[in-house]
Amino acid sequence: MNKPIIEVKDHGPYQITGKFQLIDSNGNKYETESDVSLCRCGQSDNKPFCDGTHEEIDFSSAPRAKKLLIEV
Which residues of the chain form contacts with ligand FES (CB under 6 A)? Answer: 12-13, 39-41, 43-44, 50-54
Q: Kindly tell me which of 10 and 33 has the beta carbon lying closer to ligand FES.
A: 10
Q: Kindly tell me which of 16 and 40 has the beta carbon lying closer to ligand FES.
A: 40
Phi, psi dihedral angles at 53 (to 5 degrees): -60, -30
Q: Which residues of 45-60 are buried (b: 16+ CB within 10 A; e: fewer)?
A: eeebebeeebeeeebe
Instruction: Find the shortest distance in angstroms from Cβ 65 to ligand FES.
Output: 19
- How many helices (H) and strands (E) in the chain? 1, 5
Q: Kindly tell me which of 45 and 71 has the beta carbon lying closer to ligand FES.
A: 45
